[in-house]
């Protein structure tokens, strides 16, 4: 949100049809506050944000399949409550016709605008908009993980004691060995849609580095028409992170990296959050059934399916004995 008002609500105040076909102008609504930022539509009716800034060096425009950006360009704007005028602005346009992609564009732009503040420099605008562009570049690629696995990671983040610690520890790439890694804690989340506590693991995960606590969080994730949607879970996380827009943007970037071109359709997927809560169990990675011995030094990337049905989870007392970081990454 921007000053408590979602950009989508502000955009609703802007006429949907072009005022003058292909005249290059933007119909805009000023974003409340001291900034010179706007939300609006271009002459094709596509949603966009226009960012005011100090002057700066020229930068080449960027055009991708779903997003376009021009930096520090002279624009003809038509505010809803004022006469047409010229302003020098950075324009970022969502060119996708997918309504869900447009909604996500506006949602992420709220974070971008908060990060920029009221009077950013043009180099700062370029830097932050490039992150938005990179996020949308990821949406052109195939998903790298299942949405069920991502929901498990996000559910843990949403209910963790120390959400900022947990998000900071969240993987920066899909090739990371553990989903969460910080200081002396290594944690992986595993989900099942079949109510069977049997998960695919690697030998390396079951042998965390010396001096670290290795944790496995297991839960059941099932679709449910009356459950929580992915976008609702993300909104919950962002509210808990209020005031830390850098971490909010990290969450949005990681979600885009994970879901790729399936993100727009995945946003409305609903899951049984009560089942996830009641089924969540925590295990010591060093104690679960695994292949640990007898692997030749020349052999790596050994993967297997481990059945945890006979393995006792950690007790409340065992969790309470962990370091502060370890407890912060787990539910209260």
Each residue of 236-269: pLDDT tens digit?
999 999 989 999 999 999 999 999 999 988 988 9
Q: Summarize the confidence of residues 129-144 as an average pLDDT.
A: 92
SS3 of residue 148 by DSSP? helix
**Domain spans in the chain, listed from the N-terminal domain onward:** 7-138, 147-328
Identify the helix (H) or strand (E) that includes residue 233.
Answer: helix 230-240
Identify the helix (H) or strand (E) that includes residue 248.
Answer: helix 245-259
What local confidence, expressed as pLDDT, does residue 298 receive? 81
Of 45, 162, 52, 61, whose CA–CA distance to 94 is shortest? 45
Measured between alpha carbons, how far is 107 from 50 in angstroms, rounded to an integer? 15
Q: In DSSP terms, which residues pair with 79 in a beta bridge?
A: 28
Q: Convert 154-190 to b/e letters by CB count within 10 Å (16 or more is b).
A: bbbbbbbebbebbbebbbeeeeeebbbbbeebbbbbb
Average pLDDT, the chain: 91
Residues 78 and 30 sit within 8 Å (Cβ to Cβ)? no
The pLDDT tens digits for 207-240 are: 899 999 999 999 999 999 899 999 999 999 999 9
Neighbouring C-beta atoms of residue 108, cutoff 10 Å? 22
The pLDDT tens digits for 84-104 are: 899 999 999 999 999 989 999
What local confidence, expressed as pLDDT, does residue 2 receive? 63
DSSP state of 260: G
Token pair, residue 331, equals 């539910």
Token pair, residue 164, equals 């900022």
Neighbouring C-beta atoms of residue 152, cutoff 10 Å? 25
Token pair, residue 328, equals 């912060």
Query: Measuring CA to CA, how many Å separate 30 from each of 87, 114, 136, 188?
Result: 13, 15, 24, 44
Q: In DSSP terms, which residues pair with 68 in a beta bridge?
A: 63, 93
Q: What is the pTM of this model?
A: 0.88
Residues 271 and 221 sit within 8 Å (Cβ to Cβ)? yes
The pLDDT tens digits for 141-162 are: 999 889 999 999 999 999 999 9
What local confidence, expressed as pLDDT, does residue 301 receive? 84
Identify the helix (H) or strand (E) that includes residue 48.
Answer: strand 47-51
- DSSP for 49-80, written as a single string: EEE----------EE-SSEEEEEEEEEEEEET
pLDDT exceeds 60 at position 172: yes
Reported in sequence order, the residue ranges of 203-299 that DSSP labels E, i.e. its strands, are 213-220, 223-229, 270-271, 281-284
């Amino acid at each position: 949100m921007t000053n408590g008002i979602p950009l989508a609500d502000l955009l609703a105040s802007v006429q949907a049809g072009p005022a003058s076909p292909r005249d290059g102008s933007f119909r805009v609504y000023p974003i409340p506050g001291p900034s010179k930022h706007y939300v609006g539509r271009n002459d094709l009716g596509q949603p966009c944000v226009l960012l005011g800034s100090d002057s700066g060096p020229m930068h080449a425009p960027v055009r991708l399949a779903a997003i376009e950006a021009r930096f520090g360009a002279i624009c003809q704007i038509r505010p809803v409550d004022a006469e047409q005028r010229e302003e020098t602005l950075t324009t970022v346009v969502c060119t996708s016709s997918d309504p869900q992609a447009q909604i996500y564009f506006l949602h992420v732009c709220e974070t971008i605008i908060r990060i920029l503040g009221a009077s950013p420099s043009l180099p700062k605008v370029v830097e932050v908009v490039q992150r938005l562009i990179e996020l949308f570049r990821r949406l052109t690629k195939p998903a790298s993980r299942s949405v069920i696995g991502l929901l498990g990671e996000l559910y843990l983040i949403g209910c963790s004691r120390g959400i900022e610690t947990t998000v900071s520890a969240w993987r920066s790439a899909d090739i990371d060995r553990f989903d969460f890694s910080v200081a002396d804690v290594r944690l992986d989340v595993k989900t099942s849609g079949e109510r069977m506590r049997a998960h695919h693991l690697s030998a390396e995960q079951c042998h965390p580095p010396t001096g670290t606590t290795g944790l496995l969080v297991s839960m059941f994730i099932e679709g449910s028409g009356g459950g929580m949607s992915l976008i609702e879970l993300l909104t919950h996380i962002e509210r808990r992170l209020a005031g830390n827009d850098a971490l909010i943007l990290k969450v949005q970037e990681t979600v885009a990296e994970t879901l790729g071109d399936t993100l727009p359709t995945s946003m409305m997927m609903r899951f049984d959050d009560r089942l996830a809560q009641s089924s969540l169990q925590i295990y010591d990675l060093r104690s679960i059934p695994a292949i640990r011995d007898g692997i030749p030094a020349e052999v790596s990337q050994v993967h297997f399916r481990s059945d945890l049905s006979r393995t006792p989870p950690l007790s409340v007392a065992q969790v309470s004995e962990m370091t502060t970081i370890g407890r912060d990454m787990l539910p209260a």
